[in-house]
Amino acid sequence: MPDTKRKIILSGMRPTGKLHLGHFTGALENWVGLQSEYRNYHLVADYHALTTNLDTSMLHENTIDMVIDWLAAGIDPVESPVFRQSMVKEHTELFLLFSMLVTRNRLERNPTLKEQARDLHIESDNLVYGHLGYPVLQASDILLYRANAVPVGEDQLSNVEITREIARRFNREYGEVFPEPEPRLTVFKRLPGLDGADRKMSKSLGNTVLLADTPAEVDAKMRKAVTDPQKLRKNDPGRPDVCLVFTYHQKFNPAETGEIREGCESGALGCVDCKKRCAARISEFLAPHLERRAALEQDRPLVEDILVDGENRARAAARDTMGAVRTAMKLG
Ligand code: ATP
Ligand code: MG
C-alpha cells in the first residue's frame, strides 16, 4: 500500500563522481534528515550531466560512485527509491510537453544558467539547447513525482522557481494536476570552495574536499585553502567572516568557533594552525562515512540492484502521473 499521508520530495544530483562537502551540506544532509518525514525519490540526473560534458565514458562509474556516497550518508533505498533519470522514459515525455510552457526569454534570464556560464566560461554562442532547457527537464523530474518539496543548495533556487512557474502554467491551461513544490534550503546552502569565499565548492572548479578524502588528502587540500587576503603574517588580525576556513569551522567544528574567531581577530591564531585544526575536524567527521563507503565499494553489484529496484518503483509513479497529464491534456 503506498503511503499517501506523507508529502513527497524529489531530489537529484548530476553524476559527476564522488561527492564533495558542498553537496553534503547543501543538499544530501537535508535529504537524509527529511527521509522519515517525507516520501523521498532520489534521482541520478544523468541526462543533466550531458549539459556540461558530452563524454559518457565515465557516466556509469560516476553514477555508482555518487550513489555509494548517498547510501554511505544514510539514504535508505528501501524507503526512498534511488534511480537513473535515463531509465524512466516519462522524464523525456514530460520535458517535451513542458518545453511548450516556458519562453526562451525566461530561460535566458535564469541566474543559475548565467552563473554556470560564467564559472565554466561558456559563451552564449556555444550554449547548447539542452543546457538552456536544463530547468525544464528539472521541472519534469520534480513534477513527474508530484513532489511538494525539493531540498537544494542556493544555486538551484532559480531553477526551482521555473518549476513552480511551469506547474502553475500547466494547471491553469489544463486543470489541476501538479503541486507547486517548495525549495528547502540548509543553513550551509552555499559552501565556498577552497579557492576563495566567492565561488561555490564545485567539482568542475576543482576546489573541493571530497566525502571520500582520507585525512592526509584533507590535510593537503586544506593547506592550500585561500584565507583572508588581508592576513599576510601569522600575527596580523584576520576577518573570520570573509574566510572560507572559518565557514568550514562553523560547520564541522561548531564547539570551537568562539575561540577560533577570537584567535583569528586578535592575531594569536595563525592560518596554518587554524587550517590544521579544521582539517582534523573534517576528517573526524568523514571517518564513519569513509568506513561505510569502503564496505559499499566491495559490493558494487548491490548498488546496481538498488538502482534497478528504484527504477521499477519510480516508473510506476511516473506512469501514473503521465496518465493524469494525458487525460488533462486530452492527448491520444
Ligand atoms: P559540481 O559542479 O561539483 O558537479 P553541481 O552543482 O554540478 O556540482 P549538482 O548535481 O548540480 O552538482 O548539485 C547537486 C546538489 O548539491 C544541488 O542541490 C546543489 O545546489 C548542491 N550543491 C552543489 N554544490 C554546492 C555547494 N558548494 N554548496 C551548497 N550546495 C551545493
Ligand atoms: Mg549544479
- pLDDT the model gives residue 3: 59
Instruction: Find all residues with CB under 8 Å of 124, minimum gap 6, and list them.
Output: 117
**For ligand 1, atom 25, which residue shows the shortest CA distance?**
22
Identify the pLDDT of residue 1. 45
71: its cell numbers: 547510501
Ordered by start, the domain boundaries in the chain are 8-191+300-329, 213-293
Task: Measure the CA–CA gap between 324 and 316, rounded to whole angstroms.
Answer: 13
Maximum alpha-carbon separation in the chain: 74
Q: Which atom of ligand 1 is nearest to the CA of 208?
A: 3
* CA 155 to centroid of ligand 1, rounded, Å: 7
One-letter amino acid identity for 55? D
Which residue lies with its CA nearest to atom 9 of ligand 1?
Answer: 13
* β pairing state of 149-151 and 82-84: unpaired
Between helix 271-297 and helix 244-252 the angle, nearest 10°, is 50
| Ligand 1 nearest atom to the CA of residue 189, by list position | 29
| DSSP E strand boundaries for the chain | 8-13, 39-44, 82-84, 149-151, 182-184
> pTM (2 decimals)?
0.94
Cα first-last separation, the chain = 30
pLDDT tens digits, 54-110: 999 999 999 999 999 999 999 999 999 999 999 999 999 999 999 999 999 999 999
Atom of ligand 1 nearest to the CA of 188: 29
How far CA 248 is from CA of 193, 231, 238, 276, 280, in Å, comes to 10, 18, 16, 12, 11
Q: How far apart are CA 245 and CA 232, in angstroms?
A: 15
Give the nearest ligand 1 atom to 13 CA. Answer: 10
% of residues, the chain, pLDDT over 90: 88
Q: What per-residue confidence (pLDDT) applies to 4? A: 66
CB within 6 Å of ligand 1 — which residues?
13-14, 16, 20, 22-23, 25-27, 152-153, 155-156, 189-191, 200-204
Q: What is the CATH number of domain 213-293?
A: 1.10.240.10
Angle at 297 between CA 292 and CA 299, to 5 degrees: 105
Q: Which CATH number fits domain 8-191+300-329: 3.20.190.10, 3.40.50.620, 3.50.50.60, 3.30.1370.100?
A: 3.40.50.620
Residue nearest to atom 22 of ligand 1 (CA): 23
State the SS3 of 116-131: HHHHCCCCHHHCCHHH
Nearest ligand 1 atom to the CA of 52 is: 7
With residue 215 as reference, give the H or E element that holds it: helix 215-223
Distance 178 CA to ligand 1 centre (A): 26
Return d(Cα 277, Cα 245) in angstroms, integer: 10
Instruction: Give the pLDDT score at 2.
Output: 54
Q: What is the mean pLDDT of residues 204-215?
A: 95
Q: How far is the CA of 202 from the centre of ligand 2 (A)?
A: 8
DSSP 60-97: HHHHHHHHHHHHHHT--TTTS-EEEGGG-THHHHHHHH
